[in-house]
Structure formats: structure tokens, C-alpha cells
């Protein structure tokens, strides 16, 4: 992976996984690239409805966000936002939050929200499970729905399906006593699988093939292919099953006496917690190293930079300033790994001297 690091000489050094290193060069944009950047415009029109949940108070105080105390509904996987926005306009007395993992969907949704001047909608870019674990307080939601979630039809992909028993119990904990959840799908096997997940989740299930008129992109797609009957799963909460909020972990930064950038090459770790080191840059003039890290833990994927910087008489290891990182065990594990590798090579260097 080539990353340009623009500073005055001496140039920063990029160390690869093989241990080889090379100086990076100042990069000048080609005139066609300059024209492209000049033409680039935001597709979302306004970022006002976008909730930066990684850097805001959690759980989010929705009454403060919307400026009122109103019934709160959540759509999981809102796509281009057609139904979310239309539904919000039909019910101005309610507030709505749309969750989608894809930035392209978030942009389209934000654009439609701005065009329709909808003021009772907010948007999150997040994994649904992570959002329900961290963003919504227990017993605050009136309704949760998802239209045409990915059925992951292959058997080996079952673990990726949304609305497992664990996730349904999580939704239950966030709904008020009379709350409801609705799942609509075109896939009979997926509908049957969800039905098997419902027992023990505190929901009463109502399910039947039905004719729908949600007027979403996927509904039009399936109708164009001749499908008229869909599966509408309606879940009514009859028992509260508490699931606590997943709290942030206090992250401990590190200080070490010595750091050898030439021999710094941490290994990836995979398992219940995954830490992958993607790149390492070092600026000898500023005595600052930057490690690009990916972490995965309980559905939450984060990529951020760890900074190794010389200050006074020691080196500081910490998340780089400006990284919107959620403090988790995996983040702490990444910091610990960086420290351990740095200390290991320092000890080896002194032992061989």
C-alpha cells in the first residue's frame, strides 16, 4: 500500500511488513486530478441529520437531539431512505432514526432528507448490533423495523444474518413495554430462520405471507421479477429482557524509554478479538511513528492510527489525536501489542550491544 507523507526533508520512512524501508516523496496532483477535486461536490447536501455517534455522548440523548420528547422509531438498513423519509413525513408527531452501514446509503438518505426538509429524522452509519448496544438506552424505542434485510442464503453465511436470537433479545431490551418490531423479507428460508430465533426473546410472533406496498427499491425489484407475495414478521414485546449498555473501556496509553523504528514489525492477532497492522510510517525529523490499525470486536470494526512520538525523555504510545475511536478492549489490545513489540526489540538491541 502506497501512502504519500508530505513533509520537508528529511523525508519520513515507510516500513513494510518485510522490514524493508524507503523514503516517501512529495506528491503533486496531476492536472486531471486537480480538476476532479475541483468538481467534487457533496452528495448529501447537509450533514445536519448525521449523528457522529463515535464522538458524541452515549447513549445518545435523543430528546436533546430532536429538541422534544416524542415516540422514537428506528429503521435498520434504510437503503436510499425512501420509506424512512416518507414514513417520517406521514407521522410528524414521531421521531425517526435510520441506521445503515454503507456510506453511500447514508449520503443518499441525507440528500433526500434535505430535499424533503424532514426535521424529525436522524441518521447513523453503524453496524446495527453495535448501535443498539451503545447508542440507544434501554426501554426508549417504540418501534424497530427492517425492510428486506440481506438473507445470507448460503448455510456457511448463517452467522452473518441479522435478527438472531441474541440480537432480538437486544432489541427487546431497547423497546418500551408495548414496543414492536417488524421484519419484511422476500425470502421464505430467511423468514423461517427468523421464526426459529424468536422463542426466548420476549416477543410474540405474528407471521404470514402478505401483499406489501412499502414502495421501496427492493420491493419494486422483486415485483418486476414477478414476486407478489412477501413475508411480514410482526413481533410484539410481552416480556422485558434486560441487556445492559455496552460501556466504553478506559484506555491506558503507554510510555517507553526507547524505540527502534527499523525493527518495529508487529504481528497480526486473530480470534475473538482481531488486531491487524496495515502500515507503519516514521518521520525521523519529528521523531514520530504512525501505525495504521484495524480492530474487530463483537461486530465493531474500527480503523485508526496509533501514534508513537518522542516527548522529552520518553516515547508515548497512544491513539493519534483526531481519530474517532470507540475505546474498547480491542483498542487497548492494539496499544499493548505496539508497546510489547517496541519493548522486545529495545531489549534485544541492548542485549546484543
The answer to whether residue 159 scores a pLDDT higher than 90 is no
- pLDDT band at residue 211, thresholds of 50, 70 and 90? low
The three cell numbers locating residue 151: 438473507
The class level of CATH for 62-237 reads alpha beta
* Mean pLDDT score of the chain: 87
Q: What local confidence, expressed as pLDDT, does residue 317 receive? A: 98
Q: Which long-range contacts (CB under 8 A, 24 or more apart) does 292-296 make?
A: 293/334, 295/328, 295/330, 295/331, 295/333, 295/334, 296/330
The answer to whether residue 25 scores a pLDDT higher than 70 is no
The answer to whether residue 165 scores a pLDDT higher than 50 is yes
- pLDDT band at residue 223, thresholds of 50, 70 and 90? confident
- pLDDT band at residue 349, thresholds of 50, 70 and 90? low
Q: Which long-range contacts (CB under 8 A, 24 or more apart) does 66-73 make?
A: 66/95, 66/120, 66/122, 68/95, 70/94, 70/95, 70/120, 71/95, 71/142, 71/143, 72/96, 72/97, 72/140, 72/141, 72/142, 73/97, 73/141, 73/142, 73/143, 73/144, 73/145
CATH 3.40.50.150 maps onto the chain at 62-237
Q: What local confidence, expressed as pLDDT, does residue 216 receive? A: 74
- Distance of alpha carbon 147 from alpha carbon 141, whole angstroms: 18
Mean pLDDT for the stretch of residues 257-263? 93
The answer to whether residue 285 scores a pLDDT higher than 60 is yes
Instruction: Tell how strand 95-100 and strand 121-125 pair up.
Output: parallel
Most trustworthy range by pLDDT among 37-41, 87-91, 320-324: 87-91
- pLDDT band at residue 31, thresholds of 50, 70 and 90? low
Q: What local confidence, expressed as pLDDT, does residue 244 receive? A: 95
Amino acid at each position: 500500500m502506497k501512502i504519500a507523507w508530505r513533509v520537508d526533508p528529511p523525508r519520513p520512512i515507510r516500513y513494510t511488513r518485510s522490514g524493508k524501508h524507503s523514503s516517501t516523496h512529495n506528491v503533486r496532483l496531476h492536472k486531471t486530478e486537480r480538476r476532479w477535486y475541483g468538481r467534487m461536490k457533496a452528495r448529501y447536501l447537509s450533514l445536519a441529520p448525521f449523528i457522529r455517534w463515535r464522538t458524541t455522548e452515549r447513549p445518545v440523548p435523543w430528546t436533546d437531539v430532536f429538541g422534544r420528547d416524542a415516540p422514537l422509531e428506528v429503521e435498520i438498513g434504510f437503503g436510499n431512505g425512501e420509506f424512512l423519509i416518507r414514513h417520517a413525513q406521514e407521522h410528524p408527531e414521531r421521531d425517526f432514526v435510520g441506521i445503515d452501514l454503507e456510506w453511500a446509503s447514508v449520503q443518499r438518505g441525507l440528500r433526500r432528507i434535505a430535499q424533503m426538509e424532514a426535521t424529525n429524522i436522524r441518521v447513523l452509519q453503524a453496524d446495527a448490533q453495535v448501535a443498539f448496544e451503545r447508542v440507544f438506552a434501554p426501554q426508549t424505542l417504540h418501534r424497530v423495523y427492517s425492510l428486506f434485510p440481506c438473507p445470507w442464503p448460503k448455510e456457511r453465511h448463517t452467522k452473518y444474518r441479522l435478527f438472531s436470537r441474541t440480537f432480538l433479545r437486544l432489541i427487546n431490551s431497547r423497546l418500551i413495554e408495548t414496543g414492536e418490531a417488524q421484519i419484511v423479507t422476500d425470502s421464505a428460508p430467511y423468514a423461517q430462520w427468523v421464526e426459529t430465533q424468536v422463542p426466548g426473546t420476549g416477543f410474540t410472533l405474528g407471521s404470514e405471507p402478505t401483499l406489501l406496498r412499502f414502495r421501496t427499491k427492493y420491493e419494486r425489484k422483486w415485483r418486476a421479477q414477478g414476486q407478489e407475495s412477501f413475508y411480514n414478521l410482526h413481533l410484539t414485546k410481552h416480556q422485558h429482557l434486560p441487556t445492559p449498555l455496552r460501556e466504553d473501556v478506559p484506555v491506558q496509553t503507554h510510555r517507553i524509554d526507547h524505540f527502534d523504528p527499523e525493527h518495529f514489525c508487529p504481528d497480526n492477532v486473530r480470534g475473538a478479538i482481531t488486531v491487524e497492522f496495515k502500515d507503519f510510517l516514521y518521520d525521523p525529523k519529528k521523531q514520530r511513528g504512525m501505525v495504521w490499525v484495524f480492530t474487530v470486536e463483537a461486530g465493531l470494526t474500527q480503523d485508526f492510527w496509533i501514534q508513537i512520538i518522542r516527548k522529552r525523555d520518553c516515547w508515548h504510545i497512544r491513539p493519534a489525536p483526531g481519530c474517532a475511536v470507540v475505546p474498547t478492549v480491542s483498542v487497548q489490545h492494539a496499544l499493548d501489542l505496539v508497546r510489547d513489540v517496541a519493548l522486545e526489540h529495545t531489549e534485544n538491541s541492548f542485549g546484543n550491544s
